[in-house]
Amino acid sequence: MFDYLLSPEALALRDEVREFVKAVPRQLLIDMDNDKVQFPKEFLQEAGRRNLMGCRYPREWGGRGLDWVTTAMVMEEVGVLGYIMACTFGVGAELVCDAIILHGTDVQKEKYVKPLLKGELFAAECLTEPRGGSDFFGTNTTAEDKGDHFLISGQKRFIVGGEGADYFLVYARTDEEAEPHKALTCFIVDRGPGVKVEYLYGLMGCRGGGAARIVFDRVKVSKENIVGRLNGAFAVFNTMMIPERLGTAAMTIGAARPALEVATAYTTKRRAFGKTINRYQGVSFQVAEAAMLLDASRSMIYTTCRAVDEAVEPARIRRLVSESKKFVTEACQTVAEKSMQVMGGIGYTTIYPVEKIVRDLRLASIWTGTNEVMSLIIAGEWYDEQAAARKKGQTRDCETDAEEAFAADEKIM
């Protein structure tokens, strides 16, 4: 995030986060990428000890009472460690806690949010299933009402943090007869009898984040663990899409940044044909475009964060969040690829971290809603906004400014 857009308190927090990031052992990052570490518990415990997680939540529940702009800054800075580090940092502190803070009871916040933000508990969000990811309403996991509790059965997969989680935020079908948006309920499910982590995926990148398949075999869950209302998961899902997609976009900037920094340093030292290669436009113009894309990404993130902080109308937030997720993730993938390109063959090796960054960032446009789904949302909201603006006569009718705007029989629709 641009420093001149941050408050003094946010700047001080940025320095705290940077000190934390510098203290993380390089061997941990290497071991995670080699699948020797399946979940970075010590990393999250230390973040909790430093009170770095969930900075926008109220102080009474363990946060710092700050805003989304500051949150985006934190996610970018943590992302410098690698995309999966920011993912594991964000899943519990920014996704699961967000649902409980906004929709949960004070008892739930005391039991689940406070210890998570202290680094004493770990959590994972369980949404994607073997037969559905973006199709939220296609959930096959069921919760059977047994009076004072539910029995949850089903499977979730690609669950980041699943290996290390102490509890899970689970969406399940509680009314088979209701229309889709009134059929699901959100639950907090403690790890215990009937909860099985059956498979840790072999991933192209983003390794070490405990991505797992979670199987729920008639798991007993108290009704006190419902988040929000019975059959009210749609409301939880809608608010969760803000931290899930906006947080994803912000962390992607941090994960791409080291690739450009490494490539910039390399191209100022590497010599060819008698001069350093940054003196060639074929190299420097690619670096310039990458720098431009990072700054454009930060600008979009800041604008969207301000919209959320100012509580503008929900439909507009949906569009801005979707635009941010799509634009920023694709821009940062381009940044990483251009960084590799200007470094040549050495960028494709493990001598430098750029190849890992390229592998990791491929996930960015897939998870938390594919970028194709983001385009679907953007298009729908944009058309609705334009129709409403025309109806209200809010803007000039520029269509009539053409010389032959009123030509007969030409505008045939």
Do 240 and 369 lie in one domain? The reply is yes
Give backbone dihedrals phi and psi of 399, rounded to 5 degrees, phi first.
Answer: -60, -30
pLDDT > 90? residue 265 = yes
Q: Is the pLDDT of residue 394 over 90?
A: no
Asked if residue 134 has pLDDT above 80, the reply is no
Residues 110, 146 within the same domain: no
Q: What is the CATH number of the domain that holds 252?
A: 1.20.140.10
Q: Convert 301-358 into a string of H (helix), E (strand) and C (coil).
A: HHHHHHHHHCCCCHHHHHHHHHHHHHHHHHHHHHHHHHHHHHHHHHHHCCCCCHHHHH
Count CA atoms within 13 Å of residue 271 on its CB side: 3
Nearest of 215, 255, 205, 210 to residue 366 by alpha carbon: 205
pTM: 0.94
Distance of CA 190 to the CA centre of its chain: 23
Domain count, the chain: 3
H/E stretch holding 195: strand 195-200
Pairwise pLDDT comparison (160 vs 412), residue with the higher score: 160
Q: Are 95 and 176 within one domain?
A: no
Residue 403 lies in a domain: no
- Are 288 and 360 found together in one domain? yes
- CATH code for the domain of 111: 1.10.540.10
pLDDT one-digit tens code per residue, 329-349? 999 999 999 999 999 999 999
Residues 157 and 87 in one domain: no
Q: Which of 3-17, 42-56, 129-143, 166-180 has the lowest mean pLDDT?
A: 129-143
Average pLDDT (6-26) is 97
| 372 and 346 share one domain | yes
The answer to whether 61 touches 101, Cβ cutoff 8 Å, is yes
Count the Cβ atoms, other than its own, within 10 Å of residue 335: 30
Domain boundary among 97, 121, 145: 121
Alpha-carbon distance of 198 to 155, in angstroms, equals 10
- The verdict on 67 and 165 lying in the same domain is no
The model's confidence at residue 285, banded by pLDDT at 50, 70 and 90, is very high
333 and 297 in contact (C-beta within 8 Å)?
no
Residues 158 and 214 in one domain: yes
Would residue 278 count as lying in a domain? yes
- CA-to-CA distance for 3 and 143, rounded, in angstroms? 47
Instruction: Flag whether 216 is in a domain.
Output: yes
- Distance between CA atoms of residues 3 and 9, nearest Å: 11
Write down the H helix ranges in 51-90: 68-79, 83-90
Domain span holding position 77: 3-121
In degrees, rounded to 5, the angle at the alpha carbon of residue 363 between the alpha carbons of residues 357 and 366 is 155
User: Is 399 among the domain residues?
Assistant: no
Residue 289 inside a domain? The answer is yes
- Residue 277: pLDDT band (50, 70, 90) is very high
**Pair 247, 297 in one domain:** yes
169-225: per-residue pLDDT in tens? 999 999 998 998 899 999 999 999 999 998 788 999 999 999 999 999 999 999 999
- The whole-angstrom separation of Cα 256 and Cα 55 is 23
**Last residue in a domain, options 105, 121, 137:** 121
Q: Can you tell me whether residue 152 is helix, strand or coil?
A: strand
What is d(CA 214, CA 391) in angstroms, rounded to the nearest whole number? 49
Residue 377: pLDDT band with limits 50, 70, 90:
very high
Same domain? 265 vs 211? no
The CATH number of residue 151's host domain is 2.40.110.10
Q: List pLDDT tens digits, range 61-98.
A: 999 999 999 999 999 999 999 999 999 999 988 899 99
Tell me how far apart the alpha carbons of residues 27 and 63 are, in angstroms, rounded to a whole number: 30
Cα 388–chain centre separation: 30
Structure tokens given for 298: 């930060």
Q: Rounded to whole angstroms, how far apart are CA atoms 364 and 342? A: 22
Please name the residue ranges forming H helices in 182-280. Answer: 233-269
Q: What is the mean pLDDT of the chain?
A: 95
**Domain endpoint, select from 176, 197, 231:** 231
320: in domain: yes
Residues 16 and 106 in one domain: yes
Mean pLDDT on 130-148: 87
Asked if residue 67 and residue 14 are part of one domain, the reply reads yes
With respect to residue 394, please indicate whether it lies within any of the assigned structural domains.
no
Give a yes or no: residue 396 inside a domain: no
